[in-house]
Chains A and B, each alone.
Chain A
Amino acid sequence: MRRRDPDAEQFRRSRIELSRMGGLQTGFGLWPGVRVATLALAAAVAFGAAQARAQSVEELQQLSIGELSNLDVSSVSKAAQPLSEAPASIFVITHDDIARSGATTVPEMLRLAPNLFVAQTSASDYVVTARGFSGNSQAQSFSDKLLVLIDGRTVYTPLFSGVYWDMQGVLPEDIDRIEVISGPGATLWGANAVNGVINIITRKSYETQGGFAEVGGGNLQRYAAARYGGRISPSLTWRAYVQEVYGTDTLTSTGAPASDHWSRPQGGFRLDWTPRASDTVTLQGDAYYGTEVATTSIGGGNLTARWNHNWAGGSNLQVQAFFDRVVRGTDNAGGSGFWQNIYDLDAQNSFRLGERNLIVWGGGVRFTQYKIAGAGSLQFSPPARTLDLENGFVQDTITLAKPLKLTLGLKLEDDPYAGLSVLPSARLAWTPSQSLMFWAAVSRAIRSPTPFDADVREFAGPTLFLKGNPAFETEKLTAYEVGVRAQPFSRFSFSASGFFNVYNDLRNIEFTPGSFVPLFWGNGMEGYTYGFEGWGQFQATNWWRLMAGLNLLSEHLKFEPGASTLLGIPQNVNDPSRQATLRSSMNLGPKVTLDADLRYVGVLPDPHVPSYVELNGRIGWAVTPKLELAVSGFNLLHDHHQEFPGPAGQVPRSVFAEVRARF
C-alpha cells in the first residue's frame, strides 16, 4: 500500500467529525422528554435455519461422475460442522448464499443473517448491529459493540470501537463463510465482542485454484473482479485478486441525488504452505484506496501471518500476527482525518486434559498507533497516542456426562484507559441426540473506553463545548441466554434463542454544574434488553429451499441516580423492535437459479424512521459450468426507502446485471 505522511495537510475529515457538534446542539430540541420504549415481546415462534441440506448419499448414486465433480458442496462445509455444536446464537452465511445474493459488499452480505440489523446510511456506509444499540449519530453515539474479524484480523477501529464498513472489502467469490454470532460469544473471541461477533472466513488458496472474473453493472453500482490461484509446489499454493466497487449516489429525502457516490479499488493475495502434515502457514494481505464524494479519501493495507501446528495427540497451537493500517481523511473543513497502525500478536493452545477436559488458553497483545488531525471544531487531546491492549484467557470444556458439556471461561483484558477487567463466562450444552441441542449461557462482556470517550475536544467557536472524560469507565454487560437448535426432520432445521441483557455504565452526556459547558461523557445509563432470535430452514424439494427468520428486541434503559438526563434515552438506542425475513432459493433445472429475499424491518422510534418491507431477487443462468449470467434486483418494492435517520441515504430501487467466468 501507499504510505502517507502523517501530516495534518494529508489527513482529512474523520467519520467522527462528520457527525459532530452541530448535531449535538440541535439534539437538545429533538428529544424533549424521555420516552422509554415499551415494546412487547411476542410469543416465540420457532422458525430457524441451519445449514443448507442437499442430496443424501443415496441420491448421489444417481449422478454421473461429471455431475459429481460439478456439485457445489460448499454450503455444508467441513469446518462449519463443529459450529453446529457451539452453544450460542450462531447463523452461518455460506458461500452459496453469498453467490446467490448478488451482494458485492460485506454489509450487503450481512443482510442474509436474520440475527443482525443492517441499515444503509449512505452510498458507502452502513450501520450493522446485533441486539440493539445502533446508536444515534446526532448524539454522537455510534454502533460500537460488535467484534468484526476478517480471517482472524479484527477490523473495528480502536478510536471509537465502531466499524468503517466502506473499508472492509472481501472478494465474495473467495469467502468460505461468514459466522454471525449474536451475543457476547465466548471467552475465545477478542475484545469488543459485546453484542455480537461477525467472523468472515475466506477459502484457503488451494481451494481457489484457477481463474475467476466477474463484471457487473446497474443503476446503483458497478463492479469488476478478477482472481487467479496457482500452485508453486505440491505444498505451496497462492491466489491473488483485484476488485473494484463503484457505488452511485443514494437520494435525499426529497428524492434528489445525495452526491455520496464512491469507489474503492482493492487488491490482495493469500499464500498457504504446508511444510509438513502437522503444520500450516498462511500469509495474506490486502491493500485498497478509495474516494467518496470526491473529497473524502480512504486507504489502507494489512498483512496477516498465521502458523498452525497440530500434535499427534490432538493438541493444537496457533500463532498469528497482523499489521493493519487505516488512513481516512477529507479536504473539507481545512483538512482533518486520522491514520492508525495496528500491530497485533495472538497465540492460543488447545489440548485435552484427561478424558473430560478440553482446555484452550492463550493471549494476545495489540498496539494501536494513531494520529488524528482535527478540524477547528473537533480536536483530540492528545492527538496521537499508542494504545496497548493485552488479554489472556483460559477456557475449559468439561464433559459432565455424554450429552452434557459445560464450558467455563475466564478472560482478563487490560486496556489503556480502564485497566484490568475480569470477564467470566459459563455455557452449558445438552445434546440429547445428534439432531437436537439445548444450550444456556451467562457471560460478562465490556466495551473498553476509546480515544473518542476519553480524549475528544469539541469547540463551538472558541468555547470548549464537549470534553472527553479521562475517567470514563468500561460499558458493562451481563448476558443471560438460552437456546435450542434442532433438525427434527432431515429437511427441516431451526434455531431459536432468547436473551436477557443487563447493561451498566453505558455512556451518556453530562454537563458542568453552573457553566453548563463543557459537556462531558459520563457512565450514567443502565438498563436491560431482552429479545428473541429465530430462524428455520426448510428444504421443500430437492430444488427448493425456504428460509424464514424473526428477530424481536425490547430495550429498557434508564439513567443511573445522579446522572444528567440530557438528550434522553434515545441517544443510545434507536432500534427496530421487530425484523423478519423470508427467503426462497430455487434450482430450476441444473442451470438456472432463482432467489428471492423479502425482509421487514420495524420502525426506528426516535428519531423516527418508518418500518419498511423490501424485496431482493436474483436469477442466475449457468450457460456453461464456466460461465454464469445473472440479473439481480435490490429493494424492488419502492422507488426509494430510508433505513436510518439522516438527511441522505434514501436507498433507491436498483438492478444489477453480472457475468461470472471461470478459467
Chain B
Amino acid sequence: MSTGRSATVLILLALLVFGSARADEPLELAVKATYLYKLAPFVTWPASAWSDQNAPLVICIQGKDPFGPLVDRAIAGQRVAGRPVAIRRLARIDAGSGCQIAYIGGSDAQPQPSALREIGKAPVLTVTDDPRGAAAGDIELVLQDGRVRFVIDNGQAQQQGLAISSKLLALAVRVKR
C-alpha cells in the first residue's frame, strides 16, 4: 500500500470516527416543510384571523409530525408579509387554537377527519399529506412524477373565508371548486 493510499484510508477512518455529519435529509419532506410557509403569501386571511398587525403567522402541526426539526429550520429567519413565522405542535386542534396554517398529521387521539371537522369554518388553511386522499384539507400535498405537488379545495377554503390567489390555483394539479 502506497503512502498516499495509506493517508487516504487514515483520513477516511478519522472521518468515520469523528465525523458527526447529519444523516441524509429526505428531500421530499424538506420540500413539504418549505411549502408550509411558502403557501402563505398566496392566501388572504380575514382580519379576524389575526390578533394584531404584528402577530406571527402561526403554523400548527397537529398529531403525527413527520418533519421534526426540518420545519423549524425551514422557517428560520423567514417573514411573511412582515410577520415572523412560528411553529406550534398540537396533539388536538380546534377552531380556537390560534393557527393560520395547520398541517393535519392526525393521531389516535384526534384522527384527521375529526381534526378537520373541529376546525370547521374557522379561517385556518389546512394542509394534509395523505396520498390516499382519505381526508383532504384545503391544500393536499401529492406526489406526482416524483414532484411534490398539491390539490386545492378552493370551495372549502372560500367557506372558511380564505382567498387563494389565482397564481397558486394555476400551480395546482387539480382545483376543487
List residues of A whose CB falls within 8 A of some B CB. 43, 45-46, 50-51, 53-58, 60-61, 63, 65-66, 68-78, 81, 84, 95-96, 204, 206-210, 212, 234-235, 274, 276-277, 280, 312, 433-436, 484, 486-490, 493, 662
Contacts and interface: CB of A to CB of B under 8 A. Distances in A.
Given A57-B73, A65-B35, A489 B133 contact: no
A45 B5 contact: yes
A208 B145 contact: yes
Given A46-B9, A277-B132, A58 B149 contact: no
B29 to A, nearest CB: 8
Given A73-B28, A77-B28, A274 B74 contact: no
Contacts of B24: 50-51, 53, 76, 84, 435, 487, 493
B171 interface: yes
Q: Which 9 A-B pairs have the closest CB atoms?
A: A74-B146, A274-B132, A434-B23, A488-B15, A234-B133, A488-B19, A73-B28, A57-B30, A60-B34
B14 to A, nearest CB: 9
A204 B29 CA distance: 18
Interface of B: 1, 5, 9, 12, 15-16, 19-31, 33-35, 38-39, 42, 70, 73-74, 76, 78, 106, 108, 111-112, 130-136, 142-150, 168, 171, 173
A325 B20 CA distance: 51
5 contacts: A43-B5, A55-B30, A57-B34, A68-B34, A73-B147
Given A234-B134, A235-B134, 5 more contacts: A60-B31, A73-B146, A78-B28, A95-B146, A436-B19
Nearest to B2: A43
A450 B101 CA distance: 61
Given A69-B171, A72-B146, A207 B131 contact: yes
Contact of B73 (A53, A58, A73, A662): A58
A81 B26 contact: yes
Given A46-B9, A57-B25, A435-B19, A280 B132 contact: yes
A60 B144 contact: no
Given A76-B27, A312-B108, A434-B23, A57 B145 contact: no
Contacts of B133: 206, 234-235, 274
Nearest to B1: A43
B144 A207 contact: yes
A196 to B, nearest CB: 24
Nearest to B38: A65
Nearest to B132: A274
Given A45-B5, A72-B147, A487 B74 contact: no
Contacts of B29: 78
B38 to A, nearest CB: 5
Nearest to B144: A209
Given A206-B131, A435-B19, A73 B31 contact: yes
A65 B39 contact: yes
B88 to A, nearest CB: 19
B31 to A, nearest CB: 6
Nearest to A96: B146
B100 to A, nearest CB: 17
Give the one of A66, A276, A280, A433 with max B CB within 10 A.
A433
A46 B12 contact: yes
A212 B133 CA distance: 23
A206 B132 contact: yes
Contacts of B136: 234
A640 B112 CA distance: 60
A60 B30 contact: yes
Contacts of A72: 146-147
Contacts of A57: 25, 30, 33-34, 70, 73-74
Given A65-B42, A81-B26, A71 B73 contact: no
Contacts of A63: 34
A75 to B, nearest CB: 7
B101 to A, nearest CB: 14
A57 B146 CA distance: 18
Given A95-B146, A235-B134, A277-B132, A488 B21 contact: yes
B22 A75 contact: no
A210 B23 contact: no
Contact of A75 (B16, B27, B108): B27
Contacts of A96: 146
Contacts of B78: 61
B5 A210 contact: no
Contacts of B22: 434-435, 490
B16 A486 contact: yes
Contacts of B150: 69
A384 to B, nearest CB: 44
A70 to B, nearest CB: 6
Contacts of A662: 145
A434 to B, nearest CB: 4
Nearest to A494: B12
B148 A71 contact: yes
Nearest to A59: B30
Nearest to A84: B24
A490 B19 CA distance: 10
A231 B62 CA distance: 28
Contacts of A45: 5, 9
Nearest to B170: A66
Contacts of A75: 27, 146
Contacts of A280: 132
A93 to B, nearest CB: 14
Nearest to B42: A65
Nearest to A65: B38
Nearest to B11: A488
Contacts of B25: 53, 56-57, 76, 490
Contacts of B34: 57, 60-61, 63, 68
B145 A65 contact: no
Contacts of B38: 65, 68
B147 A70 contact: yes
A236 B15 CA distance: 48
A436 B73 CA distance: 23
B78 to A, nearest CB: 7
Contacts of A212: 145
A490 B31 contact: no
A662 B150 CA distance: 17
Contacts of A77: 28
Nearest to A44: B9
A486 B30 CA distance: 21
A618 to B, nearest CB: 18
Contact of A235 (B28, B106, B132, B146): B132
Contacts of B26: 76, 78, 81
Given A57-B73, A71-B148, A277-B130, A488 B16 contact: yes
Contacts of A69: 147-150, 171
Contacts of A50: 24
